[in-house]
Amino acid sequence: MNRINKKLVEGKKLLSIYFTAGYPKLGDTVKIIEDLEKNGVDLIEIGLPFSDPLADGPTIQESSTIALENGMHTELLFKQLKDIRKSVSIPLIIMGYFNPVFQYGVEAFCKRCQEIGIDGLILPDLPLDVYQNEYEHIFKKYGLINVFLITPQTSDDRIEQIDSASYGFIYMVSSASTTGAKEGFGEEQKNYFERIASLKLANPQIVGFGISNAETFNQATQSSKGAIIGSAFIKHLAKNGVDSISGFIKNIR
């Protein structure tokens, strides 16, 4: 059983953290992952930086630009993660854009992920139909869970399609926005969270975008399985560096 599926059946709300590999310093990747696990984080999304991150707001864009300037690239990330399973046991997901994966070769990329012990991928610009027609069999061959996004604008029909193509969790984008654009939740989110809960989907949902502290974490996880923090964590790293990760996590829960 994939580590993600195991984690999802634990009887608690899950805290997932996103960070951009190669940021703030090129060599920070392993330390960040180890510290996050030590501090009780349930799941980690390792961002593979891209020059043109369409779905991201300024904070993650900036971290990606710096990571690339620092010299991060696909092969280097794999090298840094080579022995990660000797020290870390929580699920690890690589999140990135499709072009770098496509250039590496989708099959070669998935194979390396399996060798390292990566459990899943989030590639926001790999659409459902292309995934199903061309790549699903490769992801499955290497034991990788592909995570799809839904948004408040996604129709019920489409959500059901996505649910039936999923075999891990659904990434529920909290509002119509790029990452880091809004903080906090209003009436629209409440209705959206309730609508999704009422659909009784086969896959649990983890909420992302707009979560930055204990309050938003609790709101987001009221009717979902967990929540993802990205931009707020990147901002924390920018200000405090990698030595104060425990402080950040303790403020969430």
Partner 1 sequence: MTYNADERGYYGEFGGAFIPEMLYPNTEELRQNYIRIMEEPSFRKEFDQLLKDYVGRPTPLYFAERLSKKYNTKIYLKREDLCHTGAHKVNNTIGQILMAKKLGKNRIIAETGAGQHGVATATVCALMGIECVVYMGEIDIARQAPNVARMKMLGAEVRPALSGSRTLKDATNEAIRDWINNPVDTYYIIGSVVGPHPYPDMVARFQSIISEEIKWQLKEKEGRENPDYVVACVGGGSNAAGAYYHFLDNPNVGIVAVEAAGKGIDSGESAATSVLGKVGIIHGSKTLLMQTQDGQITEPYSISAGLDYPGVGPMHAHLFKSGRGEFISITDDEAMKAGLMISKLEGIIPAIESSHAFAILEHKVFNPEDIVVINLSGRGDKDLNTYINYFKL
Q: Which residues are catalytic?
A: 45, 56
Q: Cα(236)–Cα(240) distance, rounded to whole angstroms?
A: 6
Binding to partner 1 by residue 149, rule CB under 8 A? yes
Q: How far is CA 109 from CA 21, 44, 75, 101, 113, in A?
A: 16, 19, 9, 6, 6
Span interacting with partner 1, options 176-184, 192-200, 218-226, 236-244, rule CB under 8 A? 176-184
Q: Choose, by CB under 8 A, the member of 135, 139, 148, 217 that binds partner 1.
A: 148
Instruction: Count residues near partner 1 (CB under 8 A).
Output: 43
154 near partner 1, judged by CB under 8 A? yes
> Per residue, what are the HEC states of 54-112?
CCCCHHHHHHHHHHHHHCCCHHHHHHHHCCHHHHCCCCEEEECCHHHHHHHCHHHHHHH
Q: Which amino acid is at 176?
A: A
**Comparing C-alpha atoms, which of 73, 64, 81 is closest to residue 19?**
64
Look-up of token digits 């309050």:
215
Which residues contact residue 78 at a Cβ distance below 8 angstroms, ignoring those fewer than 6 apart? 112, 116
Q: Which stretch binds partner 1 (CB under 8 A): 13-21, 39-47, 152-160, 224-232?
A: 152-160
Task: Give the per-residue contact string, 48-77, with partner 1 (x = CB under 8 A; - = no).
Answer: --xxxxxx-xx--xx--x--x----xxx--
Considering the complex, what minimum distance in angstroms separates the CB of residue 247 from partner 1?
A: 29
Closest approach of partner 1 to the CB of residue 241, in Å? 24
* Residue with token string 């987001």: 220
Interacting positions 82-141 with partner 1 (CB under 8 A): 97-104, 124-127, 129-130
Judged by the rule CB under 8 A, the positions of this chain that interact with partner 1 are: 50-55, 57-58, 61-62, 65, 68, 73-75, 97-104, 124-127, 129-130, 148-151, 153-155, 158, 162, 173, 176-178, 181
